[in-house]
Amino acid sequence: MKKSVSFILLFTLSIARVFSQEFTNDSTTSDASFPGGEIALNKFIKDNMIIPQLCLNEGKSGFVYLRFTIDTLGIISNIYVDNNQTKCKEYDIEAKRIVQLMPAWNPGRINGKPVKIAYLLPINFGFTEADVPEITTKYKEPNWAGVEIGITQLMNTSFDPTFNDNKYWENIVRKSWFFNYNFLEYKLPLYKHYLGLTTGLGYSWRGLSFSSNYEIIVNSDTVYAITTAIDLRRNKLTAHYLTLPLLVEFSTKKNTQNNFYISSGVIVSWKFSSYTFQKGKDLTGNKFSHYTYSDYNLRNFSLDWMVRIGYSYVGLFTSYQVNSLFRKDKTVPIHPFRIGLTINMDYFQE
């Protein structure tokens, strides 16, 4: 039932530009395109479309939005339905079938180099062309996903790194490293590609190194440290977190490459593991190393204020934990201040 129902439904197509010229004046950037252009793409879809009888009988019509990847050779992969306005699942199958039949596209290019892109294709089952909504389909690349490394300085409520009555909390900054892996990101545009709200998920490994003559003691009421005669070569408190950012971000370009960005906001962290690691010699001179797992009265949830700035794939960031590192009244208020280097990842561009 290919063309016999064309008098019942109008099949039109709105192509969502991957590099929208509304936002890009860079003449070295070109869109991915179907061979022969939009007219050829319209014809290909109409010639290959078979209207599902079930949807036709139910009078269902609307748009089916397909997302897929176009690689550097123009090959389509990772096809899935992003949204089906028709509420008829048979249209999902038909729309995916049509895209699977398509030949290789002309790949998108940046500075003459083919790049891998994400593409959104709305296929219209029953609307007129004037009803096609204007949408921007190029994934607005946030600047969150990637790896980060840096150091931590513990501070008191006066933004001072000294703890006069609790010297054991004065950490060794050069050995207090942290590592973050931000594996999921999403950017909600607020104004074109320039301003947006960035969120995602990440993993954080945070280590605090302390003086060799202190040993952390913890119970249900408090956490503190005592001096010890044991020769500790390494004395570190480590915690693992899942992180969720909520950042307002300004970017000069849609993609990570050649983009200047600055963002600021909060990071919510959930602690799921913590332990101390000690290595040294006991009183008899025997070497030892051991891990002690405990929550150490660390907060399960922490809130950090963060500022990030960078260009292209490299950036710097700093953060300050607003609430105390440990639970309330378990010890003196301690606020970690962190600074580090970030290497951004662009999942949609080679």
pLDDT band at 19, cuts 50/70/90?
Answer: very low
Taking CA atoms, 255 is separated from 40, 112, 269, in Å, by: 29, 15, 27
Encode pLDDT of 113-172 as tens digits.
999 988 999 998 874 444 444 444 445 678 899 999 999 999 999 999 999 989 999 999
Torsion of CA 347, 120, 37, 123, to 10 degrees: 160
Query: Of the ranges 25-29, 52-56, 82-86, 209-213, which one carries the lowest mean pLDDT score?
Result: 25-29
What sign for the dihedral angle of Cα 168, 172, 173, 176? negative
What letter does residue 15 receive in the DSSP assignment?
P
φ/ψ of 61, rounded to 5, equals -150, 165
**pLDDT at residue 11 greater than cutoff 50:** no
pLDDT, the chain, mean: 85
Q: Cα separation of 125 and 133, whole Å?
A: 13
Q: What is the mean pLDDT of residues 216-237?
A: 89
User: Taking the CB of residue 42, how many other CB atoms lie within 10 A of it?
Assistant: 17
Q: Check residue 169 and report its DSSP letter.
A: G
- Picking from 81, 106, 79, the residue whose alpha carbon sits closest to that of residue 19 is 106
In terms of residues, how long is the chain? 350
Number of other CB atoms surrounding residue 160 within 10 Å: 9
Residues with Cβ within 8 Å of 284's Cβ and at least 6 positions away in sequence, in order, are none
Q: Is the pLDDT of residue 15 over 70?
A: no
At residue 104, the 3 state secondary structure works out as coil
Q: CB 248: neighbour CB atoms within 10 A?
A: 13
Q: Mean pLDDT over residues 322-337, rounded?
A: 96
29-131 domain in CATH 3.30.1150.10? yes
The average pLDDT across 317-340 equals: 96
Task: Measure the CA–CA gap between 64 and 49, rounded to whole angstroms.
Answer: 13
- How far is residue 298's CA from residue 273's CA, in Å, rounded to a whole number? 10
- Please state at what angle helix 37-48 crosses helix 89-101, rounded to 10 degrees: 120
